[in-house]
Amino acid sequence: MATKSAAINMRVLPSVREVIDAAASLQSMDRTVFIQQAALNEAYKVLADQKDFKLEQRAFEAFETALDEPAKVSEGVQDLFQRKSPWE
């Protein structure tokens, strides 16, 4: 069964289109494929930045140490949790 494609429409300045067309041409791609590939690559990067990160060994050990420490509760947070809610 074939999957339908979904349209994405956008307007850009002519100068932007010219740059995109030039870059797509250098990659032997049409504009649509070039934009799709560029947007998809950027989307993957954004998603990876939210869940993956790399640290050098020393920094990773410091990170693990910080995670193992008990949580610190500030007085302001304690006071906030002890207050009655306005709707109560």
**pTM for the predicted model, two decimal places:** 0.56
Residue 9 domain flag:
no
pLDDT tens-place string over residues 77-87: 888 888 988 88
Q: How many domains does the chain have?
A: 1
Residue 88 domain flag:
no
Residue 2 domain flag:
no
- The Cα–Cα gap between 61 and 67 comes to 10
Quick one: DSSP state of residue 46? H
Residue 4 domain flag:
no
**Contact present, 29 and 37 (Cβ < 8 Å):** yes
**Contact present, 34 and 23 (Cβ < 8 Å):** yes
pLDDT tens-place string over residues 1-18: 678 889 999 999 999 999
Question: What is the residue range of 62's domain?
Answer: 14-82
Residue 1 domain flag:
no
Closest CA to 21 of 8, 9, 7, 38: 38
Residue 8 domain flag:
no
